[in-house]
Amino acid sequence: MSEGKGEPPVRPDTPCVAVCSTTFDEICRGCGRSVVEVAHWVSMSAEQKEIVWQRILAQGYPRRNK
């Protein structure tokens, strides 16, 4: 699927990589989302999700175990 000009990037349904851990703070060590973002992901608008995607990608997430 190609991305047209002005269209949002094609993203997976969720940044989750099944490496869930919020042991030390409120940010998941796998996907980079906050506990609140994870809890509300399904009810967030596409625009809200894109803002989260841009932030977590800039921070080097999602992180998968190798």
pLDDT tens over the chain, length 66 residues: 445 567 778 999 999 998 888 778 899 999 999 999 999 999 999 999 999 999 999 999 998 765
**pLDDT value of residue 38:** 95
d(CA 39, CA 44): 10
H runs (alpha helix) in 1-66: 35-40, 46-58
| Lookup: tokens for 34 | 């906050």
Nearest to 62 by CA among 35, 26, 33: 33
Longest dimension (CA), the chain: 40
Separation of CA 39 from chain center = 12
